[in-house]
Amino acid sequence: MLSKESKIYVAGHRGLVGSAIWNNLLQRGYTNLVGRTHKELDLTDQVAVRKFFDEERPEAVVLAAAFVGGIMANSLYRADFIMMNMKIQCNVISESYAHGVRKLLFLGSTCIYPKNAPQPMKEDCLLTSPLEYTNEEYAIAKIAGLKMCESYNLQYGTNYIAVMPTNLYGPNDNFHLENSHVMPAMMRKVYLAKLLNDGDWEAICRDLDIRPVEGVSGSSQGDDIAHILEKYGIYNNKVVLWGTGTPLREFLWSEDMADASVHVLLNVDFSDIIGIEKYSSVHYGASVDGAVDRDHSAGRGGAIPKLGEIRNCHINVGTGKELTIRQLSELVVKAVGFEGTVEFDATKPDGTMRKLIDVEKLHSLGWTHKVEIEDGVNRLFQWYKESLNTKH
């Protein structure tokens, strides 16, 4: 168990999930937190990551940093998605081991599951059939990350836990139209279409000043603004969204995800997940003097024949509930107060048709979600409006 004085490094502490985890830890009295912005520490730089661990020596690590985006970004930047994420994961996990980190929490994504996986998706359906093509590279990187955690545990007796959240949304979400996920992108489009109908160019310009789109900001010419908004399906009192609107999606409020993550970090060990009270002959990853125990025979953990094959040790994190993209758009329209029309462009890809996860393992470990989608959509829109009145 980590003490309130334990130094905890949160990688990605400014992001959607990382910031929520940071705040959740603070609220629980864990104040010895360490964070670095991308400008301060490039996690793809192995030398820089090693230097950071040499200097800070964290007792626990939360790996919430990742290179992320929606369908469009995944399609355009395939090499970046696999290479950037693999570098981040390899550097942070390997240096955590080299520096005797006691507990590591790795955050993945439910896109790790096969495109045609049985619904709801249990942890055991991992690697049973092909992935969804549009996010294959990101999914493969995340699968590698969870397998790194599992493999270090089995070979070295470490205590690295991987959690796989469903679609997340909440404070500090990414609303940049070029690479945002479905809900914030949809919300911003609906809001801008409402502003166009209201003729509120001051609000439109403020929005674009804070979050420019392909270099177009609030100081750009009116024709340029109209052109870029139309490119993303935003018209006067009308919004065009990608796909048919029929895919089913599950959404989890980011602060709920943070609470689940911290619950796992503080209360769940690898031995709890695999159901073996004591699977290792050494304490997780470090000897008494803090040096890493590299005696493979002493710390092989579950990688011993009598325990059989151990895999799929990650934990799904979600609500176990779903709705269609069209139903989501109706909730967004209501929250924004939009009275125009929402159309779906069926010539554009839908992505995976259904992605509901089984959360039985999570519930058995003592955690369930609190924020329902209807309340969450309203909360997100209130946060977005407040963000437009904050100096960036």
Residue 138 a catalytic site member: yes
Nearest CA to 239 out of 173, 352, 325, 135 is that of: 325
Taking the C-alpha atoms of residue 384 and residue 195, their distance in angstroms, rounded to an integer, is: 14
The tokens of 241 are what?
A: 């969204």
Under 8 Å between Cβ of 261 and 107:
yes
Q: Which of 9, 138, 191, 279 is catalytic?
A: 138
The tokens of 122 are what?
A: 């249990």
φ/ψ of 387, rounded to 5, equals -65, -25
Radius of gyration of the chain (CA): 22
Q: Is the peptide bond before 120 cis (omega within 30 degrees of 0)?
A: yes
The tokens of 67 are what?
A: 């290179």
Q: How far does CA 57 lie from the centroid of its chain?
A: 25
Taking the C-alpha atoms of residue 206 and residue 208, their distance in angstroms, rounded to an integer, is: 5
326 burial (CB, 10 Å; 0-12 / 13-18 / 19+) is middle
Taking the C-alpha atoms of residue 143 and residue 141, their distance in angstroms, rounded to an integer, is: 5
Under 8 Å between Cβ of 81 and 138:
yes
Taking the C-alpha atoms of residue 335 and residue 329, their distance in angstroms, rounded to an integer, is: 10
Angle at which helix 182-198 crosses helix 325-336, to 10 degrees, equals: 40
The tokens of 372 are what?
A: 């329902």
Query: 3-state SS of 313-335?
Result: CCEEECCCCCEEHHHHHHHHHHH
The tokens of 155 are what?
A: 């070979």
User: What are the residues whose beta carbons fall under 8 Å from the beta carbon of 292, sequence distance 6 or more?
Assistant: 97, 98, 99, 100, 285, 286
- Annotated catalytic residues are 138
